């Protein structure tokens, strides 16, 4: 082979190598906005435990990335729990450091708050008025770390409580 042919072949191989190297991250980059849009938060379990001194509400949050995008991290979930638009409790939950939301995966967080005193009395009144089945809903925001910094998609989810 002549020097010119070797140079051209080297350039073609270098171009193909760079193209192959950039293909994966570029394909991932394209899926970023659909990943943000398709993030889901569900509350599969919502438990109310009533004692003589307090009412404890515990819920499981499932945050899932149903896409092939890699690069999202779950920092926290901040929420308010309401009955008939009356605030019963507010809190937040999250890992000590943001955790990766891998493609096609879900992470589970546990949220808890306790009602005592006047808030417990308000709950008891609403519980009695509803015939023992108050209509709860949980609203709040997820804190997601993405390539654009922190994103805070909102949610508002009706839930059915189970008792212990």
71, 98 in Cβ contact below 8 A? Answer: no
CA distance 74 to 63: 8
* H-helix segments, 50-159: 117-129
29 confidence band (pLDDT: 50, 70, 90): confident
Judge whether residue 164 has pLDDT over 70. Answer: no
153, 39 in Cβ contact below 8 A? Answer: yes
Fold assignment, 36-163: Immunoglobulin-like (2.60.40)
Residue that wins the pLDDT comparison between 131 and 22: 131
pTM score > 0.85 for this model? no
Residue ranges of domains in the chain: 1-30, 36-163
Residue that wins the pLDDT comparison between 27 and 113: 113
| % of the chain beyond a pLDDT of 90 | 72
pLDDT of residue 10: 74
- The mean per-residue pLDDT over the stretch 137-146 comes to 96
- The closest of 139, 115, 138, 143 to 127, measured between CA atoms, is 115
Model confidence pLDDT, tens digit, residues 113-133:
999 999 999 999 999 999 988
């Amino acid at each position: 082979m002549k020097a010119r042919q070797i140079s051209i072949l080297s350039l073609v191989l270098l171009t193909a190598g760079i193209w192959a190297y950039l293909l994966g991250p570029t394909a991932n980059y394209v899926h970023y906005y659909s990943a943000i849009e398709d993030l889901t938060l569900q509350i599969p379990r919502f438990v109310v435990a009533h004692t003589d001194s307090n009412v404890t509400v515990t819920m499981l949050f499932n945050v899932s990335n149903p896409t092939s995008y890699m690069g999202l991290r779950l920092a926290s979930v901040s929420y308010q729990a309401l009955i008939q638009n009356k605030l019963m409790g507010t809190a937040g939950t999250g890992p000590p450091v943001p955790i990766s939301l891998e493609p096609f995966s879900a992470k589970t967080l546990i949220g808890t708050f306790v009602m005592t005193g006047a808030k417990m009395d308000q709950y008891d009144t609403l519980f009695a008025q509803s015939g023992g089945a108050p209509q709860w809903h949980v609203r709040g925001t997820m804190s997601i770390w993405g390539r654009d910094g922190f994103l805070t998609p909102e949610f508002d989810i009706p839930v059915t409580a189970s008792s212990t």
